[in-house]
Amino acid sequence: MKTRGRLIGLLVAGLLGFVAGCDNERNFNTCKDAGADGDMDSGTDGDTDTGSTVPNGDYLDAIFAVASGDVFAVGTNGKILHYDGLDWTWMESPTKEFLSGLWGNSHDNVFAVGRGGTLIRFDGDGWQFMSSPTGVDLVDVWGVADGEVFAVGKEGTIVRFDGEQWTPMGSGTVSNLSGVWGSSSSDVYAVGEPTDDGVVLHYDGSSWSYLEDVPPNPDPSPSPRYFPQHAVWGASPGDVYIAGDNELNPFEDCWGVSIAHFDGLAWKEVFKNTCVSEGPFLSLWGSSAENVYTVSSAPELYHFDGTQWTELDPLSPVGEAFVQDIHGCSATEFYAAGGYGYGYPITSWQPEIWRHDGMEWTPVFGPDE
């Protein structure tokens, strides 16, 4: 599952056996007008599962903007949050399982995946369970408009929805997969982290195969060895990014990160930083080839303007805020989701969402709002 660098660092001093869910990456999605823009009101979540393996409270692990004014977010204890263009409200959820991935192509066709092979779907009226072919944790989900949907997870698990049912697919790996994205049902990427090696897979419409030429790759023989990869996103079949680890610097209390780019012909490492605070890049999203964002859980944000990657001001300048996912539908409306922790190590937290209007980040839900 996706490594939660900052989150795990804050918890490890006081929590044993905590396993965070993982995110993902989301596909490019042009905003449709789904509601009037207005103030985004925060809310409180009084439904705390005291038997949870996480501290009191909840945080958000994935966010997906189906359209302008139609945004979903999911997280711990099966929590589901929705923005309708005016307010953020909690939705009735059919599960208490950790939800870590979201994808949809309309308000009445949204999928969420999570722990224990959980697969649920929103049909416009409510969320319903779907029959799952696996009991393994699912981490991320992505689909195409014609009905095909792919979900990836632990132990190399990949399942595919054909519009009628979910079926397992052979991935050729037992590595934990944490991100999935494609340009079509015959051009899909899945990325992951080690059991012992990182992994980058590609689906051509008939089978999944290893990609052996994705940097950084310090030891190409006798088999591909990659640093863990956490996120994948593209603007087109010939413009794809993968973000993940580069090297760990435990004695410097920081994380090395890397971004690789595919231009339609070859992969090339286009960004590298050997010391990025306390966590790796977890999410990638862009509105175009000239407007791409990646974020670490710290949270530290980087932006690509078509020429170079630059670091931006953090979402929350103070406190123990962390980000798990970013997604949007235009350059002037995109969101980051995560939480705000209290104490060191964290003893409780609250969900938090920020919105970017093309100029700056503003907290729109949670304690900083």
CATH number at residue 336: 2.130.10.10
User: 369 with 354: CB under 8 angstroms?
Assistant: no
The Cβ-side half-sphere exposure at 268, using a 13 Å CA radius, reads 7
Q: What is the Cα–Cα distance from 117 to 134, expressed in whole angstroms? A: 5
User: 99 with 21: CB under 8 angstroms?
Assistant: yes
Q: What is the Cα–Cα distance from 78 to 58, expressed in whole angstroms? A: 10
Provide the pLDDT for residue 212. Answer: 78
Provide the pLDDT for residue 243. Answer: 85
Domain span holding position 39? 5-365
CA angle 344, 349, 352 (to 5 degrees): 125
Provide the pLDDT for residue 98. Answer: 96
First to last CA, the chain: 30
pTM of whole model > 0.85?
Answer: no
Per-residue pLDDT tens digits of the chain, which is 369 residues long? 343 443 434 433 333 233 333 333 334 444 554 433 333 233 333 333 333 344 567 899 999 999 999 999 999 999 999 999 999 999 999 999 999 999 999 999 999 999 999 999 999 999 999 999 999 999 999 999 778 999 999 999 999 999 999 999 999 988 899 999 999 999 999 998 865 456 889 999 999 998 877 776 554 444 444 566 789 999 999 999 988 776 655 555 666 677 889 999 998 888 877 666 556 778 899 999 999 988 876 677 888 999 998 888 766 544 577 888 999 989 899 999 988 877 666 777 889 999 988 888 888 998 766
Number of compact structural domains in the chain: 1
Q: Using alpha carbons, list the distances in angstroms from residue 263 to 61, 79, 163, 234.
A: 30, 38, 31, 10
Q: Using alpha carbons, list the distances in angstroms from residue 28 to 61, 67, 88, 112, 318.
A: 19, 11, 23, 17, 31
- Name the one residue in this structure whose structure tokens are 């905590």: 18
Give me the phi and psi of 252, to 5 degrees please.
-105, 5
Q: What is the Cα–Cα distance from 118 to 3, expressed in whole angstroms? A: 20
